[in-house]
Amino acid sequence: MASGKSSFKLILGSSSMARQRILAEMGYEFTIMTADIDEKSIRKEKPEELVTALAEAKANAIMSRLQNTGMLEKDAHTTLLITADTVVVYKGMIREKPCSKKEAREFIKGYSGGHAAVVGSVLVTNFRTGASKGGWESAEVYFHDIPDEVMDNLIDEGIPFKVAGGLMLEHPLTLPFVDSVILIL
C-alpha cells in the first residue's frame, strides 16, 4: 500500500494461500476471516453459477458474523470484504477439493497430459454502503505428463486437499507440468 494512512480496512474472506500471497505482494495489509460455511450444501449445475453463489454465501456469512459481534460499528474506517471461490471442470464434471488421497490421485492423473477448465469468482463488498460487485472468469489449462513421483509428493504435502480440483497450478512441483493457460472469453 502507498505510504500514508489507509481510509479502509481490507478483509480477505478466504484461507487460500494464493489469494493471500497476491494481496501481500501487492502491498496490502489485510485481515483473514473464513466463512465456515458448508460449501457442499450449495449446489448449482453451471460452474459459473456455483462459484458466484459460493462467493456470495461466504460474504453473507462473514458480514452476518461481523454485524452480530458489533465489530463493524467499532471500526470507523470503510471496510472492504473480498470473497472468492474456484472450481475445476474436467470432462464436464465440476471438481472441488478432493476428499481422499485416492480421489486426489485420480484428479491429478486425469489432468496428466490433458486439460481442464478453471472457473473462479471474486466478490468485493463494501460494508459501509452495502454495495457488492463481482464476476467470474474461466481458463483452460493444458498439462504435460505429470510423473507419479510428483503426484505422490503433492499428496504427501497435503496440497490437493487445499485447492479446487486438487492441483495448485503455481506450486513449484506443479508449475513445470503446466503447458499453457488460455483465458476463455
Bridge-based pairing state of the strands 8-12 and 31-32:
parallel
Q: Is 120 left (phi over 0), alpha (psi -120 to 50) or beta?
A: beta
Residue found by looking up cell 458480514 in the block: 63
Q: State the Rg of the chain over Cα.
A: 18
Catalytic residue set? 85
DSSP class of residue 166? G
Residue found by looking up cell 474461466 in the block: 138
